[in-house]
Amino acid sequence: MKDEILKVLMTTKEYVSGAGLSETLGVSRTAIWKAIHKLKDEGYEIEAVPNRGYRLLIETTNLVETAIRLHLSKASRFTTIKIYETVDSTNSEAKRLKVNKSMNEGLIIAKEQTAGKGRRGKNWTSVKDEGIWASLVLVPDIAPTIASMLTLIAGMSAAMAIEDRTGLEVGIKWPNDLVISGKKVCGILTEMSTEADYINHVVVGIGINVNQTFFEEPLEAIATSLKIELGREVNRVEILTTFLNHFETLYEKFLKIMDLSFMIDKYNSMCVNVDQELRIIEHGATKQATGIKVTDQGGLMVRNKEGNTEIIYAGDVSIRGINGYV
């Protein structure tokens, strides 16, 4: 019922009477009053005036289900949304839900992670209510060999969302990071469960540094947030839902052609590894190469010191700039 009340309040700048809401929704005025107070608890600023009714003054910026649903596309696959105060990791929780058959496709969000996971076993610092810590649960009918392309789709979607909502220039650090001003602002971790030649499910985890004001060493040298870059608070609901809407658009295109050709030109234009001297770290060994482009299949094409080209795929490979993180 909260969703329906919110939609009514969003469509008018005038007061909406409790009696009118009661009649429209077919519930008692007491039920309307209780729902309004729940919306207020979620961060919506709603004015209540005797004999006039209710009026929405300010939308919430908290990551609550009503706000997220309001801004998703009508055809969104993320109809199941679970929001937690604290979890170890949204990816771990998503996998537990799949094992328990408690979710098909959906969205997992945590206000705080105590053991957030990054790629190659690294930890991800997840401060409560300052960032976006989420996992997308998907059941795609694709071969396991191309599932890693979903990381690039998520990265492209997040970069577009941040640029759309903040105007900041975002770079993509292949295969799974976003950078602003040379510092990391977003990381993506894709995990999957497979059986031989098919996928049971894929979990795409994403962490976006939104409203942090500082990072402790050693992160201070390599991490940033949208608030640090802009000098103001950023609406996490807008960033998350814009990301989700972009992701669904790109994901549907991917499912039709099973490669990244539909977005690869834009991806390469944003990729900070292209035309850069790189350090490639694989199984403890380091070699230097020049980034050429990301291919339609999601690999990074490089030219080695001997002038030969090769394509590197994500996995246990780490890519760094010659002089640092980027």
CATH number of the domain bearing residue 218: 3.30.930.10
Whether residue 132 is contained in a domain is answered as yes
**Domain range spanning residue 177?**
65-270
Which DSSP string corresponds to 156-182?
Answer: HHHHHHHHHHH----EEETTTEEEETT
Does the annotation list 113 as a binding residue? yes
Whether residue 326 is contained in a domain is answered as no
> Same structural domain for residues 22 and 128?
no
Whether residue 243 is contained in a domain is answered as yes
pTM: 0.88
Whether residue 207 is contained in a domain is answered as yes
Is 70 exceeded by the pLDDT of residue 125?
A: no
pLDDT in tens, 140-171: 999 999 999 999 999 999 999 999 999 999 99
CATH no. for residue 315? 2.30.30.100
Whether residue 130 is contained in a domain is answered as yes
Domain boundary among the residues 40, 58, 76 is at 58
Look at residue 72 in the predicted model and tell me its pLDDT.
93
Nearest of 122, 125, 89 to residue 108 by alpha carbon: 89
Is 90 exceeded by the pLDDT of residue 172?
A: yes
**Considering its fold, how many domains does the chain have in total?**
3
Nearest 5°: phi and psi at 173?
Answer: -100, 105
Please, what's the b/e burial string for 184-207 (b: 16 or more CB within 10 A of its CB; e: otherwise)? bbbbbbbbbeeeeeebebbbbbbb
Whether residue 118 is contained in a domain is answered as yes
Whether residue 24 is contained in a domain is answered as yes
> Same structural domain for residues 135 and 26?
no
- What are the residues whose beta carbons fall under 8 Å from the beta carbon of 112, sequence distance 6 or more? 85, 86, 87, 126, 127, 128, 129, 133
Look at residue 79 in the predicted model and tell me its pLDDT.
87
Does the annotation list 266 as a binding residue? no
> Same structural domain for residues 184 and 260?
yes
Is 60 exceeded by the pLDDT of residue 269?
A: yes
pLDDT in tens, 15-53: 999 999 999 899 999 999 999 999 999 889 999 999 899
Whether residue 291 is contained in a domain is answered as yes
* Residue 77, number of CB atoms within 10 A of its CB: 20
* pLDDT averaged over every residue in the chain: 91
Nearest 5°: phi and psi at 153?
Answer: -65, -45
* Range of lowest pLDDT (24-28, 172-176, 216-220): 216-220
Which DSSP string corresponds to 80-91?
Answer: -EEEES-BS-HH
Q: Which residue has the tokens 């289900």?
A: 65
User: Stretch 232-236: mean pLDDT, rounded?
Assistant: 96
Is 90 exceeded by the pLDDT of residue 192?
A: yes
Q: Quote the distance between the C-alpha of residue 326 and its chain's center.
A: 21
314: exposed, middle or buried (Cβ count in 10 Å: 0-12, 13-18, 19+): buried
> Same structural domain for residues 153 and 295?
no
> Same structural domain for residues 264 and 127?
yes
> Same structural domain for residues 92 and 185?
yes
> Same structural domain for residues 78 and 47?
no
CA angle 214/151/234 to nearest 5° reads 35
Does the annotation list 122 as a binding residue? no
User: Do 8 and 21 form a contact (C-beta atoms < 8 A)?
Assistant: yes
> Same structural domain for residues 157 and 259?
yes
Does the annotation list 91 as a binding residue? yes
More confident residue, 163 or 218: 163
Look at residue 117 in the predicted model and tell me its pLDDT.
67
> Same structural domain for residues 258 and 195?
yes
> Same structural domain for residues 186 and 263?
yes
Nearest of 84, 105, 282 to residue 204 by alpha carbon: 105
Is 90 exceeded by the pLDDT of residue 283?
A: no
Secondary structure class of 318 (helix, strand, coil): strand
What crossing angle do the helices spanning 18-25 and 29-41 adopt, rounded to 10°? 100
Q: Any idea how long the chain is? A: 326
Torsion of CA 140, 141, 142, 144, to 10 degrees: 70
Does the annotation list 117 as a binding residue? no
> Same structural domain for residues 48 and 162?
no
C-beta pairs of 213-219 under 8 Å, 24+ apart in sequence? 215/125, 219/125
> Same structural domain for residues 150 and 204?
yes
